[in-house]
A and B are shown apart, each in its own frame.
Chain A
Amino acid sequence: MSLARLIERLLQLIPVLLGVSVIVFVMITLTPGDPVEIMIGDQNITAEQEAAMREDLGLDRPVHERFFLFLGNAVQGDFGESFYHRRPVIDVIAERLPATIELSLVALIIALVTAIPLGVVAAIKKNSMTDRLATVGSLLGVSLPGFWFGILLLMLFAVQLQILPVSGRIGFSSEIEPITHFLLIDTLLRGRPDAFLDALSHIILPAITLGLPMTAILMRVTRTSMLEVMRQDYVTFAEAKGLRRNRILFRHALKNALIPTVSVAAIETGSLLGGNMIVETVFGWPGLGRLVVESIFVRNYPLVQAAVLFYALTYVMLNFLADILYTVLNPRVKL
């Protein structure tokens, strides 16, 4: 893809991002309850102080001015103060983010590692028992409500078998001084294999729960595109040339069959963002998703709004990357 094309695609993002900001701003403006009153809480405050706060937040200005104020602040990463934590919203979000990213990445890895081999086997042995099982499995995968599946896993592995912890990110005795804030990496960097296993035992159930629908979808995509590729002329030609079947499948077919899988994976990574609110709530995972859910109930609106905007921006960027990835991998497609 040419640079000019890339820049054009980037420019097309601008109206989308602006639109997303408008919607988040409308959500803020229409949220019932006066933010100043929420901030004051039950403190005693004079009318002048209240008016000063209002002016400070720009609430005395007309709506369009407030929108540009919001946009200007957002660009600088200023989303105001979290009522609950009495700290800038952006700091609170940054603190919770590594836990969410780590969980999402592990979920993504689990999904890729299980979905691709299953999809390939299902395609190669079409209509076999494996294929049928994989099809039923993927149907279950998209039909299971994540919050319930998570609770079932907890009941089995944490309550009945007692081999995995119920909640949290790491045990108390395994806590270590952070370096990257990704516990699976930090524990190894600090030379604590015991703590690594502890962190792994905490992340495994939430990651499986989060990755399940993605696994189901990726498996189907891999199966379909593998079947598609196996019908192509060059595969038939390779067969006619007398190449061994495995060599054809893995050297030629798989490489092309994985193109849709990779781009769907990039798109689906965005939907992991939504799933992590549920999964983090079920497993008491100290990430951004749980923070947002908790914030709704304490009416910590600045945080909810900043998080919604943050999620939306990440989602748009991931979809953009998925597009780019698809063109880079598949030279026949022109953006």
Chain B
Amino acid sequence: MTAIDNGSAAVASPAGNSIFRRNMATFAENRLALGSAVVVLLFVLMAIFAPFIAPHDPNTTDLFRRLQPPAWQEGGDWAYVLGCDALGRDILSRIIYGARISIFVGAAVVLVATTIGIIAGLAAGFLRGWVDTVISRVVDILLGFPYLIFAIGLMAMMGPGLINIILALVYKEWVIPCRVVRGETLATRELEYVEAARALGASSRHIMTREILPNILSPVIVVSTIRMAHVIILEASLSFLGLGVQPPTASWGAMVADGRAFIMQSWWVSTFPGVAILLLVLAINVASQGLRDAFDPRFHE
């Protein structure tokens, strides 16, 4: 066993490492993608340090500030830069706190779904046989549901709430990394180094986790970053429909929904939270495209 470990480490690790490093260098050269990654990081920091950054409490209502316009408009106040909503709550503070929900749901869903997808995809692609049949059937069935409708059906059943949103999205999301991992595993399992490990008597588990997994991780990481953007939009959509976290907790989708009743006179209530969603999702999309270009030679165009 140790012999195999040392052998594979000696062969795979430095090579894998340098490829990874070269890819990251390619990524860093793409200034647009690097800038977008910085934007994403800023959003994450904003979410983590929300209590220190937000100028006001996100849930404190003030009836005298109902629908107060942004600072640069008549009647605005620089203490409430982006204005206030229908309950007189500071929109900027709610956007800062709302980042917590979007980023937490996005990260949690993608993390859990990717973990499940890796396990299921490795098992299906490597073990084949009935395991593959069962997993592939379940994947086919879940693919039979339009995503948002599946999530809406589940939310209607489970009721609103943070954990329920994550569950409702994970139930379908894992299918996507699972298909990627299964495909990559199928392609990898016949390669020489896997043959070699098998010939040396390595267990299936060892081959799956130590030989195959490290080599198929790049496409999985690329896919999960792209998926993060989708999941954030889905969460915002559920919140917009009133199926997300419940008030008064600030979430971007629900904030846009709150402003719908006031588009005639108070454009800012819906507009600013939407800008936040767009900026974050766009930054993730650009950064993940950069990652994909750097990691996947097939996309070198």
Contact = CB atoms under 8 A, between A and B. Distances in A.
Given A16-B141, A139-B286, A278 B146 contact: no
B83 interface: no
Interface stretch (B16-24, B37-45, B66-74, B256-264): B256-264
A227 B299 CA distance: 13
A105 interface: no
Given A148-B277, A159-B264, A143 B229 contact: yes
Determine the main DSSP class of A at the interface with B.
helix
Contacts of A159: 263-264, 267
B253 A147 contact: yes
Contact of A145 (B138, B143, B154, B278): B278
Given A148-B256, A316-B144, A273 B149 contact: yes
A332 B159 CA distance: 48
Nearest to B237: A278
Contacts of A147: 236-237, 240, 253, 256-257
Given A154-B263, A273-B149, A31 B157 contact: yes
Given A151-B274, A281-B241, A301-B156, A274 B141 contact: no
Q: Interface size class for chain A? A: 35 or more
B243 interface: yes
A278 B241 CA distance: 7
A139 B274 contact: no
A139 B285 contact: yes
A155 B274 CA distance: 13
Contact of B145 (A20, A140, A277): A20
A274 B147 CA distance: 7
Contact residues of B: prevailing secondary structure? helix
A15 interface: yes
B282 A32 contact: no
Contacts of B233: 143, 145
Interface string A292-323: 11001100010011011001100110010000
Nearest to A126: B301
Contacts of B229: 142-143
Nearest to A144: B278
B270 interface: yes
A273 B145 CA distance: 10
Interface stretch (A22-30, A106-114, A236-244): A22-30
Contacts of B155: 296
Contacts of B257: 147
Nearest to A26: B157
A271 B237 CA distance: 14
B153 A278 contact: no
B294 interface: no
A32 B159 contact: yes
Interface residues of B, number: 48
Interface string A20-49: 101110010011100000000000000000
B246 to A, nearest CB: 13
A155 B148 contact: no
Contact of A278 (B150, B240, B285): B240
Contacts of A165: none
A143 B282 CA distance: 5
B152 A277 contact: yes
A287 interface: no
A270 interface: yes
Contacts of B92: none
Interface string B201-233: 000000000000000000000000000010001
A91 B227 CA distance: 38
B260 to A, nearest CB: 6
B73 to A, nearest CB: 15
B271 interface: yes
A280 to B, nearest CB: 11
B282 A304 contact: no
Interface of A: 15-17, 19-20, 22-24, 27, 30-32, 139-140, 142-148, 151-152, 154-155, 159, 227, 270-271, 273-275, 277-278, 281-282, 292-293, 296-297, 301, 304-305, 307-308, 311-312, 315-316, 319
- Minimum-distance CB pairs A-B, first 4: A19-B141, A148-B274, A274-B148, A274-B146
9 contacts: A20-B141, A23-B145, A31-B157, A145-B240, A145-B256, A146-B237, A154-B263, A155-B267, A277-B152
